[in-house]
């Protein structure tokens, strides 16, 4: 939309123009049909992928197929659909015809068939059938239990289980994590808001300052990329003085636990040693930091009196037993929220920040780029250059992108 009032008015009268008498000229820019409309780089880490994009109808469909492939333990196929969706997310316009996809990377035959059908008929039969399928629905519900992976969910599905209440009813043997997953199922499947993430940030900050003054916390994961909601809240904890962060996690966890703020926690110790675990080890191991998988008990903001639950409202939602449900959401003044805490030494902080900001596909693409294009090995701890046989240091994300020969992509554009 161009404001041409300055031109028309001054030509006619020579007087300055007020906003109310402006004239607008709408200009439609149409791509020439013979020229490829847009080109994109092949690796997700070379592209800028905003959170909000123009092709949700197509990407939602492709991501259903990606998720279904994951449920069938077909990782290759799942990644292929995710890469195709990721390319569409990076386009600056809504795709309306197949010719607009010419020359774009990562769009395999299967993805193209799905896109074509949606563009021509409004929907894809394969996607519709997947969404309707009992297996897909059951796998989604069962893997939605914290602590339950595809293998367990698949075994349960084969045994006839379809939803979390079936797990309780049939008396499945559950580990500590899965018990928590069942108990807080509804809350953990309700998106965490940014306000809730910030409230938890304040608590974590207080805990960390109490046990190690000068330590810092950083919100990572989807929230750092600008997502308004997430399935959990991810924090990195560090201290500017290398070594001060050692054994910090148990102290933070005790502080939180003593105040009744943790409904569940499982801490793993730092097992990363550069000398031993360096270049030969798989670069994608996320579990080598001092890390705590937890469920926080987050107080809900005070309600107005008319919103207070009725006396006796603490009913347990007894779904086939005593495990599932902790009273309806309305009857509780707290919410269970998944929180991941990771402690990192200052020297590894930039690598951890880059590794934990995501998206998951962006990280996968970074590692793939490092190996295949640069003969380097990137992890959340370090970057190893196999040509020079040495580690490349970095104290900021920008430096790491430079080592990798990539243009810097800010967190808000890593939504690949």
Q: Judge contact between 392 and 383, C-beta under 8 A.
A: yes
Q: Is 234 annotated as a binding residue?
A: yes
* Interaction between residue 234 and Mg ion (CB under 5 A): yes
CB of 64 to Mg ion, least distance (A): 21
234 binds ligand DCT, rule: CB under 6 A: yes
- Shortest CB 338 distance to ligand DCT, Å: 8
Q: Which is nearer to Mg ion, 231 or 393 (CB)?
A: 231
Q: List the x/- string, 196-225, binding to ligand DCT by CB under 6 A.
A: -------------------------xx---
Spatial distance between the Cα atoms of 185 and 361, rounded to a whole number of angstroms = 26
Q: Binds 67, which of Mg ion, ligand DCT, none (CB < 5 to 8 A, cut-off by type)?
A: none
CA separation for the pair 408, 397 (Å, rounded): 8
When asked if residue 230 is in the footprint of Mg ion (CB under 5 A), the reply is yes
Could you say which of 232, 245, 290, 365 contacts ligand DCT (CB under 6 A)? Answer: 232
Of residues 209 and 267, the one with the C-beta less far from ligand DCT:
267
* Alpha carbon distance 298, 332 (integer Å): 11
Contact between 369 and 45 (Cβ < 8 Å) = yes
Burial of 147 (C-beta count, 10 Å sphere; 0-12/13-18/19+): middle
| CB of 81 or CB of 356, closer to Mg ion | 356
**Closer residue to ligand DCT (CB): 284 or 300:** 284
Residues that are catalytic: 232, 234, 340
Q: How far is the CB of 247 from ligand DCT (least distance, A)?
A: 23
Question: CB 232 → Mg ion: shortest distance, Å?
Answer: 4
Size of the site for ligand DCT (CB under 6 A): 13
Q: Which helix (H) or strand (E) holds 376?
A: strand 376-378
Write the CA distances from 321 to 166, 170, 303, 312, 324, integer angstroms: 10, 10, 30, 20, 7
290-299 vs 334-343, strand pairing mode: antiparallel
Look at residue 356 and give the partner it binds from Mg ion, ligand DCT, none, a contact being a CB closer than 5 to 8 Å depending on partner kind: ligand DCT
Q: Shortest CA distance to 22 belongs to which of 9, 41, 38?
A: 9
397 binds ligand DCT (CB under 6 A): no
Shortest Å, Cβ 219 to ligand DCT: 10
Distances (CA, A) of 167 to 163, 164, 186, 204: 7, 5, 15, 33
Half-sphere exposure of 29 (CA within 13 A, CB side): 4
Q: In this complex, which beta carbon is closest to ligand DCT, that of residue 101 or of residue 416?
A: 416
Annotate each residue in 273-312 with x if it binds ligand DCT (CB under 6 A) or - if it does not, as one string.
-------------x--------------------------
Nearer to ligand DCT, 212 or 263 (CB): 263
Q: Find out whether the peptide bond into 12 is cis, omega within 30 degrees of 0.
A: no
Binding site for Mg ion (CB under 5 A): 221-222, 230, 232, 234
Annotated binding site: 232, 234, 340
Binding residues for Mg(2+): 232, 234, 340
Interface residues with ligand DCT (CB under 6 A) are 221-222, 227, 230-232, 234, 286, 356, 358-360, 363
């Amino acid at each position: 939309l161009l404001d041409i009032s300055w031109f028309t008015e001054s030509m006619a009268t020579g007087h300055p123009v007020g906003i109310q008498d402006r004239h607008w000229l709408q200009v439609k820019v149409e791509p020439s049909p013979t020229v490829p409309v847009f080109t994109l780089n092949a690796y997700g880490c070379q592209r800028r992928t905003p959170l909000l994009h123009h092709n949700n109808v197509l990407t939602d469909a492709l991501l259903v197929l990606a998720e279904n492939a994951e449920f069938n333990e077909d990782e290759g196929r799942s990644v292929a659909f995710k890469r195709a969706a990721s390319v569409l997310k990076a386009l600056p316009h809504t795709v309306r015809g197949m010719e607009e996809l010419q020359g774009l990377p990562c769009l395999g035959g299967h993805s193209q068939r799905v896109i074509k059908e949606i563009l021509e008929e409004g929907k894809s039969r394969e996607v519709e059938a997947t969404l309707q399928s009992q297996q897909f629905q059951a796998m989604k519900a069962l893997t939605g239990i914290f602590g339950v992976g595809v293998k367990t969910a698949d075994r349960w599905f084969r045994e006839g289980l379809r939803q979390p209440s079936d797990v309780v009813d049939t008396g499945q043997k559950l580990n500590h994590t899965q018990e928590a997953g069942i108990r807080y199922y509804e809350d953990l499947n309700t998106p965490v808001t940014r306000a809730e993430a910030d409230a938890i940030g304040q608590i974590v900050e207080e805990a960390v300052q109490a046990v190690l003054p000068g330590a810092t916390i950083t919100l990572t994961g989807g929230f750092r990329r600008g997502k308004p909601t997430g399935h959990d809240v991810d924090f990195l904890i560090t201290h500017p003085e290398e070594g001060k962060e050692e054994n910090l996690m148990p102290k933070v966890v005790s502080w939180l636990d003593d105040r009744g703020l943790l409904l569940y926690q499982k801490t793993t110790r730092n097992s990363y040693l550069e000398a031993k675990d360096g270049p030969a080890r798989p670069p994608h191991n996320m579990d080598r930091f001092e890390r705590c998988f937890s469920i926080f008990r987050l107080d809900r903001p005070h309600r107005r009196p008319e919103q207070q639950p009725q006396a006796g409202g603490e009913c347990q939602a007894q779904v086939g037993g005593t495990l599932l449900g902790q009273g309806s959401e309305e009857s509780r003044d707290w919410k269970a929220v998944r929180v991941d805490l990771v402690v990192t030494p200052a020297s590894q902080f930039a690598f951890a920040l880059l590794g934990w900001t995501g998206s998951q596909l962006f990280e996968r693409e970074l590692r793939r780029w490092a190996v295949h294009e640069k003969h380097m090995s990137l992890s959340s701890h370090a970057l190893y250059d196999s040509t020079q046989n040495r580690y490349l240091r970095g104290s900021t994300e920008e430096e790491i992108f430079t080592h990798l020969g990539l243009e810097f992509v800010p967190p808000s554009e890593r939504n690949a």
